[in-house]
Amino acid sequence: MTTTSSPIAAPADLRDRRPNALREGLLIAGRDALHQVREPWGIVFGLAFNIMLILMFGFLFGGAIELPGGGDYIAFLLPGMFALAMLFGLESTMTAMSDDAKRGITDRFRSLPITSASVALGRAIADLGSSALSLGVLMIGGLLIGWRPTTGPAEIALAVVLLLWLRFALLWLGIFLGLSFRGPGATTAVQVLVWPIGFLSTVFVSAETMPSWLGAIAAWNPISATATAARELFGNPTGATSGWLAENAVVAASVWPLVITAVFLPLAAVAYRRLRR
């Protein structure tokens, strides 16, 4: 390079860090988080929506719902809502990925000498962070309306870890969807489709009160596994008195996200590489 006094030309030895996926992932996560702070309405609205659902089901419908095995409905509902909030997080991951790809930011990242995993890694760190924050807000809100965990700190911590573990798994689904489907209808489609997935679970009602075929579907829903495990670990009523899920909820809540990750993390990587076509 020619040496000139122009401030545009970079000094030759300016670079002093080697490419490192974790460093770059954290930098991109910082940028993603800054986005969430600057444009917090997606997260705020998502939280408000969750709170509205809690109030609606907790107080409007809750009185009419009787749990198999007994127990307070608010105590049953809250852990389910925590799991549902993790599912809803899918939309924000998807939207953020597809917006970045549309706006050209992803191309800029891809033209930089950074490891290709760092864009997804950054998204994962940022979204997991904001979901943890949302979960914290929901838990405090739950405490205010009478939800109480009755177990020890270890169980409570495990419940939180399993909830975030589900969120982690759904990240890859969200990244895959966001990179693969960028049309204006895609986000709307996902917003609609999370509803049957969310409702066909034990989030709002026990599977045992459903027709047996429907109950079977609900019991096999990964959201149900996490919801039931969280109820168990918080010491809340599970609404499940017998059956496979009642006995193995924590195992199911550990394995389901692993399966989802095993399927969608590679698919997300493929979708990222397919941007090169």
Residues of this chain that bind another protein (CB under 8 A): 1-2, 4, 6-10, 14-19, 24, 27-28, 30-31, 34-35, 38-39, 102-105, 107-114, 275-277
Residue 92: CB partners within 8 Å, gap ≥ 6? 42, 43, 46, 127, 130, 174
Nearer to another protein, 113 or 153 (CB): 113
Beta carbon of residue 86, minimum distance to another protein (angstroms, whole number) = 25
Tell me the CB-side half-sphere exposure of residue 147, using CA atoms within 13 A. Answer: 26
Beta carbon of residue 42, minimum distance to another protein (angstroms, whole number) = 12
Beta carbon of residue 200, minimum distance to another protein (angstroms, whole number) = 36
Beta carbon of residue 185, minimum distance to another protein (angstroms, whole number) = 20
Nearer to another protein, 103 or 148 (CB): 103
Nearer to another protein, 154 or 277 (CB): 277
Nearer to another protein, 38 or 64 (CB): 38
Nearer to another protein, 43 or 249 (CB): 43
DSSP 243: S
Beta carbon of residue 145, minimum distance to another protein (angstroms, whole number) = 34
**150, 220 in Cβ contact below 8 A?**
no
* DSSP H helices in the chain: 21-38, 41-55, 73-103, 105-110, 117-144, 153-180, 184-199, 212-220, 222-234, 244-274
**73, 62 in Cβ contact below 8 A?**
yes
**215, 208 in Cβ contact below 8 A?**
yes
